[in-house]
Structure 1
Amino acid sequence: MSKNELKKNLGLVPALAIVVGMVIGSGVFFKPTAVFNATGAPGLGIMAWILGGIITIAGGLTAAEVSAAIPRTGGMIAYLEETYGNMWSYLLGWAQTVIYFPANIAALSIIFGTQAASLLGMSDSAIVIIAIIVTIFLIIMNSLGSKTGGAIQTAATICKLIPLFAIIIIGFIKGNGGVVRLFPIVAQNHPITTSLGSALVATMFAYDGWINVGAISGEMKNPGKDLPKAIVGGLSLVMAVYLLINVAYLFVLPASSLAATKTPAAAVANIIFGQAGGKIITVGILISIFGTINGYIMTGMRVPYAMAIENKLPGSKWLSKLTPNSKVPVNSGILLGIISIIFIFSGKFDQLTDLLIFVIWIFYVMTFFAVFVLRKKRPELERPYKVPFYPVVPIIAIVGGLYIIFNTLFTQPLNAGLGLIGTLIGLPVYISRKNKFKKIDDNED
């Protein structure tokens, strides 16, 4: 095995755990507040979760065809390079390296620090310290090998589902509101189009993260067979969990109460489990976020590595190095950690997440559209999996993605602008280095 060759030792279960683990993070605990606040009615809120799940699964079914046909380390970077050329893939890789993955890791670490400080009775000054510690710890763990990172992901995913299912089961049993809390469908003074649109954007953040499993396809034993199963199976499980837990919430508390609290899961737990319920759910949240941070680190550190092995980044020779035994891009992980820690010092969760959503969805839509382009441009390409109900499913994914883009552009122009500026900074870097692109020699020191 050469110095720059990744070990192919990941199967379906770790890949499935990465999809579920990266999607089920903070959104399931925090986004019900935004959803029901936007809709003002339980029925429309549930519809937003269903519609968000449909768009996401349509996107997963669509992207899975591209992922299986181009099972290369780097995920979307490889897809866009094959479809649209070097510039677009470079801009995506740049945005993922300096914005998307570090901002997600930082934002989730800040939430982890906030929840941990609250549970332990510590002051707010400890939040940043805890956030930095958990980031460094998980980077070290993932530097030990993909099996270690995959094991952490699998364990965290199983553990995070326990409190979720506890709320679902006990909520249905003890909830005294019953089905009456699922009505009305539409609230007065809440126009259905704008209300549903705002709620949908909130749910899409909760569903985000699934596509990043493609970044580890180069380390999967059978990506053509297992990658589509991991994406579609994982998203189906996530959607079912989201729907069930939101219905369970409504069985215990009305939509107005859920909209008024920042921690709907803890509020429900306090009712059905007693005072200890809040602490139980806080532990569950910590485990959930811990697993999500691990997933973003595990997949994120492969992105600068994939660019570095082609000499696309400043310092590519250093970034392309793998650990001798575990064959992990540890230096790329160090870079990711440094940028994440810089973001952590901002302490602003909402801004960190909002500025990246607009940008990443542009590339999501381009990935969905790549199915049409590649079928015409590369009909001979081996496709172990093809998206069902073509072209209806890809069109659903594209239309849903375009809605997210334009909604963010008009409702959050500042964050959209910041995301675009950060991405476009990569353009002069690309221009200055495009003549230097090459495969890093395995024998280089």
Structure 2
Amino acid sequence: MENHETSTGLKREISFFTALTVVMGTVIGSGVFFKPEAVYSATGTAGLGLLAWIIGGLITICGGLTTAELSAAIPKTGGMVVYLQRAYGPLVGYLLGWAQTIIYFPANIAALSIIFATQAVNLMGLQETATIPIAIAAAFLIIFINLLGTKKAGRLQSVATVAKMVPLLLIIVFGLFNKGDVQVQLLPSSMTSGSAISKLGSGLVATLFAYDGWINVGAIAGEMKNPKKDLPKAIVFGLSAVMGVYVLINLAYLSVMPAASLGATPTPAAEVAQLLFGNAGGKIVTIGILVSVFGTINGYAMTGIRVPFAMALNNELPFSRWFQKLNKHQVPVNSALTLFIIALVMIFTGQYNQLTDLLIFVIWIFYTLVFIAVFILRKREPDLIRPYKVPLYPIVPIIAIAGGLFIVLNTLLTQPINTALGIFLTAIGLPIYFYKKRKRIHSTIEKN
């Protein structure tokens, strides 16, 4: 089997334009259709809501540019886990893998399944009691498709990628030409008050779910024709384009519905589509949104089921041998079932926004550590070959770190119970890590 662990084994075929489309395709998901509810209910105004989308985009761009330095210098399978292990040692890398296994990926699957079900109930005029059963069915179907092999899951991903662009473009084009009368004041007069900053912070956490996925954009560095020149351009232009799309679609939403109404509906995009295109047209757009959400769940499942499998190969989990089991399609079947069971428990909460805030809080702790790792590795490993370096160093990484700290601290202050749950679930991994480590030491001593 060929070793693709370093960039030398990869063909440098990715052009700037391909990289640009990869960046945009990776980031644009379901959040843009559903997060307006959380953004505008948190901020209370159109202006503060739009500001949250813009600041979220700027933090994301700085985060992408910063992380890409590590991706280009350490092009190994495992991405973020590898960067954290290199900068902080095995414990921090392990905790990320643990948090991804029991919080990040299951919470994504659960939250997206809930919103898929909410949208389906709305489309078909069903009773609200049907939401949880439909969400469970959606999550089960996604896991089942993934168990049939990577090729089938990949085909679904391709269809969903096209499907998500159709409702986006339709709402933007027709929404912006809609003769609405929404007064948008970007900066409220009381912006310096703690209340406005707290509202902006909550809105920002909501937008960052829509921007999530950017962490993977640097992974293509090893296959780019000219990563030094093209990777920063692809990240800046790609994420700026995503931010532009998000701001435009929110302006389109606001041309049709006021911020208060957007903040009061769990299906803002579908309601806007219905007002723009009538009942039949609205339903067609809603079906496009459903396909997009289904594809987004699939994307998280494809990646997620491989995390506990990779950890089990390093004997980092209880019953590691059980997690290593592959089915006849070479898919980690027990890892997939574990992910589904955890997601199932989360689905029963029925809390889309609470789950997404939980996973954003936890993952941004690790994102912020990744940004700091750029400084650590520059000092500790000055001779490491860096095909790409963060532009405007150290300003860009400092903005990314400041943004990360603001998100984590604001969520700690505004959602203490949710964040305590996230910290507790992550901390459960600590005794497992030390138990496994002690067992490895004992077995090494016995062998010698």
TM-score normalised to the size of structure 2?
A: 0.85
| Deviation by residue 1:126-174 (Cα, 9 ceiling, x = unmatched) | 3333323322332233344444433322321221111111011111223
Deviates more, 1:390-399 or 1:304-313: 304-313
Residue 319 of structure 1: aligned partner? 323
Pairwise CA RMSD: 3.4
Letter in 2 for 1:200: L
Closer/same/farther in 2, CA of residues 48 and 350 from structure 1, 3 Å limit: closer
Give the equivalent residue in structure 1 for 2:300: 296
Per-residue CA distance 1:281-330 (angstroms, 9 max, x = gap): 42232122112111111111221122122111123233334566x65444
Structure 2 counterpart of 1:441: none
Shift of 1:256: 3.7
Asked if the contact 1:22/1:295 (under 8 Å) is kept, the reply is no
2:378 maps to amino acid = R
Greater mean alpha carbon deviation, residues 366-375 or residues 294-303: 294-303
Closer, same or farther: CA 282–294 of 1 in aligned 2, 3 Å: same
CA distance in 2, matches of 1:272, 1:59: 36
Question: Which shows bigger deviation, 49-58 or 34-43?
Answer: 34-43
Q: Could you say which residue in structure 2 is the equivalent of 1:359?
A: 362
2:65 pairs with 1:65 = no
Task: Quote the residue 2:409 is aligned against.
Answer: 406
Residues 176/300 of structure 1: CA separation in 2 closer, same or farther (3 Å cut)? same
Among candidates 165, 171, 174, match of residue 167 of structure 1 = 171
Match in the other structure for 1:388:
391
2:376 aligned partner? 373
C-alpha distance in 2 between matches for 1:183 and 1:323: 56
- Kept in 2, the 8 Å contact 1:110–1:347? The answer is yes
- Is structure 2 residue 102 aligned with structure 1 residue 98? yes
Asked if structure 1 preserves the Cα contact closer than 8 Å seen for 2:205 and 2:360, the reply is: no
Shift of 1:370: 0.8
Gaps of at least 5 residues in structure 2 are: 442-448
1:182 aligns with 2:196: no
Shift in alpha-carbon separation, 1:300–1:234, aligned structure 2, 3 A: farther
Aligned length: 432
Could you give the per-residue CA deviations for residues 216-272 of structure 1, whole angstroms, max 9, x where no partner exists?
Answer: 879x86699498777656533321210110111222333344334443323322222
Given the alignment, which residue of 249, 254, 257 partners 2:253? 249
Task: State the SS of the aligned residue for 2:177.
Answer: helix
Deviations 1:84-106 (A, max 9, x none): 00111111111110111111111
Amino acid corresponding to residue 186 of structure 1 in structure 2:
P
1:103–1:343 contact (8 Å) kept in structure 2 = yes
Corresponding residue number in structure 2 for 1:335: 338
Contact preservation (8 Å) 2:68, 2:217: no
Aligned to 1:200: 204
Query: Which residue in 2 is equivalent to 1:141?
Result: 145
Q: Percent identity?
A: 58
Paired position in structure 2 for 1:78: 82
Q: Secondary structure at the match of 2:183?
A: helix
Structure 2: distance between partners of 1:174 and 1:24:
24
User: Are the aligned partners of 2:163 and 2:289 in contact in 1 as well (CA < 8 Å)?
Assistant: no
Distance (Å, rounded) in 1 between the aligned partners of 2:129 and 2:226: 47
Moved more, 331-340 or 372-381: 331-340
CA distances 1:28-83 after superposition (whole Å, capped 9, x unpaired): 12322333344443333222211110001111111111122222222221111111
CA distance 1:123–1:406, change in 2 (3 Å): same
Q: Deviations over 1:329-372 (max 9, x none)?
A: 44432322232223223333233223332221111100111111
Change (3 A) 1:335 1:14: farther
In structure 2, what is the Cα distance between the partners aligned to 1:154 and 1:227? 23
Change in CA separation of 1:35 and 1:113 when aligned onto 2, cut-off 3 Å = closer
Shift in Å at residue 11 of structure 1?
8.4
1:74 partner SS: coil
1:67–1:227: 8 Å Cα contact kept in structure 2?
no
| Equivalent AA in structure 2 for residue 294 of structure 1 | N
- 1:182 is paired with a residue whose SS is coil
Structure 1 unaligned spans of 5+: 439-445
Equivalent position of 1:267 in the other structure: 271
Does the 8 Å contact 1:311/1:436 carry over to 2?
Answer: no
Over 3 Å counting, the alpha-carbon distance change for 1:308 and 1:69 in structure 2 is farther
C-alpha distance in structure 1 between counterparts of 2:410 and 2:225, whole Å: 34
**Residue in 2 that maps onto 1:51:** 55
Alpha-carbon distance in 2 for matches of 1:266, 1:115: 8
Q: 8 Å contact 1:41–1:187 — kept in the other structure?
A: no
